[in-house]
Structure 1
Amino acid sequence: MPEPGNDGEWDLIVTPWHLDEHIPDFPVPVGATRVECPVPARMSALHRATADVVAQAAKPLVLSGDCPTSRAAVAELQRRHDDLTVLWIDAHGDFNTPAISTSGYIGGMAISMLTGRTPGLFDDTLGLRPVPEASIVLADARDLDPAEGDALAASQVRRVPAEPAAITAALGPGPLYVHLDIDVIDGAELPGARFPSGPGPSLARIEECLAAACANADVVGAYLACAWLPEHAGDASSRATMSRLTAALGATVTWTG
């Protein structure tokens, strides 16, 4: 069972994987529960293991190496909240599907997984219910594939800029799950990102967005996709960024080593 978060409220969970690639240097805060994948080659097994840990957390804050594992956190939070809203802050749309993706990269399909647009991509052991598109607020998403942009435009996903006021205006009174991919941060401030997306909001602005969400909504769970290259995942600058983002959510982390 997860130990209490360092701030006495958040339960810290770490999944040191990018898809099915283990990230050995991914930093693990003191007191965090580390999710081990029993079959590293199978993402479904990792997601099931993550869901089992999230299920025991009162208020899960997941630090992960990718976006798709968020489906495990959402599936478990759905068991507690019928009307969950998802705030997704990302440089990318994550709205590709196997049919329209130009690269086939599964990490670019994470929101589509949540909304039921990728049937059969994973097994159904999580019991994930499709999240209504209108219940997803997508902030930034400045880097889109052409077909992905068309799919988003035709969807009911609510797109907003990564600005505190815009995010606050889009949120309702119900329970909120916050997902942040670090690549939303301006590339000049983010050395070592797997998928840098050029100019964008500053780290300080993203901190303001997270703080605004927490101040104006009932945040019941959060997820930081720490998508750095493996050799940068545990370096000092990456840890400092993760510390600032978790602090903006109201959590204080202490690093080992």
Structure 2
Amino acid sequence: VSALGALKGLEAQRPAVLWYDAHGDFNTWETTPSGFIGGMPLAMLVGRGDLQYLRGIDLTPLAEDDIVITDARDLDPQEAVALGESRVTHLPKVEDLLAAPLPDKPLYIHMDVDVIDPSKMPGLGYPAPGGPSVEQVLATLRRVIKERPLAGMLFSLWDQSKVTDERALQAVLRMVRTVAGT
């Protein structure tokens, strides 16, 4: 849900959104089986469901055509239908980003690190089996930042209390360095 605030701060740039996530985050209060608000922010951003959070920060919904979500391998049934019927671009494999057209505007990147295979990324808040490697994600980030200006980036769902080694921290730092060009 922190993406709402981040995009409010970037609103003047009118960025498109590139959403990396193992989950769709495309539920609404009417479709969610769990009632977990963390599964709704992308739907909220495009004006689906209850708009009280957008109204609360005076954020105009984004056009579905300006949203690209990649992976989203763990979708609830109604969420999958809603995403499939939307104009949001869904790239089921992160590697699809290597060749897919990107919106022609600055990008806000939402990096939910649970997009990465949990066997390679310990400490995930909501792990979902499968997913790309850190290297595959890095390759797509390199392509994206080479072709589009970066408006902003947010990392989410890494739970340090669940981490038993340095792999997760190193993976996140590699992503930050890649985007920062260092």
On whether the aligned pair clears a TM of 0.5, the verdict is yes
CA distance in 1, matches of 2:98, 2:21: 13
Q: Which residue of 1 aligns with 2:38?
A: 107
Once the two structures are superposed, what CA deviation does each residue of 1:42-62 show, in whole Å capped at 9, x if it has no partner? xxxxxxxxxxxxxxxxxxxxx
More helix by share: 2
Q: Which residue of 2 aligns with 1:132?
A: 63
Once the two structures are superposed, what CA deviation does each residue of 1:136-173 show, in whole Å capped at 9, x if it has no partner? 0011111100000000111111111211x535532133
Could you tell me the TM-score, scaled by structure 1's length? 0.65
Where in structure 2 are the equivalents of 1:1-257 lying within 5 Å?
68-79=1-12, 81-82=13-14, 84-122=15-53, 124-160=55-91, 161-163=93-95, 166-225=97-156, 227-232=157-162, 236-250=166-180
Q: Share of identical aligned residues, percent?
A: 35
Q: Structure 2 stretches of 5 or more lacking a match?
A: none
CA distance in 2, matches of 1:221, 1:78: 11
Deviation of 1:180 (Å): 0.9
CA distance in 1, matches of 2:128, 2:10: 30
| Corresponding letter in the other structure for 1:71 | L
Identify the range of structure 1 (235-244 vs 93-102) with the bigger mean alpha-carbon deviation.
235-244
CA contact (8 A) 2:71 2:115 kept: yes
Once the two structures are superposed, what CA deviation does each residue of 1:61-119 show, in whole Å capped at 9, x if it has no partner? xxxxxxx101111112112x24x211111111100011000000110101011111132
What SS is found at the alignment partner of 1:189?
coil
Cα distance 1:192–1:131, how it changes in 2: closer, same or farther (>3 A)? Answer: same
What SS is found at the alignment partner of 2:26?
coil
CA distance in 1, matches of 2:52, 2:110: 21
Deviation of 1:237 (Å): 3.0
CA distance in 1, matches of 2:47, 2:62: 7
Cα distance 1:246–1:234, how it changes in 2: closer, same or farther (>3 A)? Answer: farther
Cα distance 1:217–1:234, how it changes in 2: closer, same or farther (>3 A)? Answer: farther
Could you tell me the TM-score, scaled by structure 2's length? 0.91
Q: Structure 1 stretches of 5 or more lacking a match?
A: 1-67, 253-257
Tell me how large the CA RMSD over aligned residues is.
1.9
Cα distance 1:127–1:190, how it changes in 2: closer, same or farther (>3 A)? Answer: same
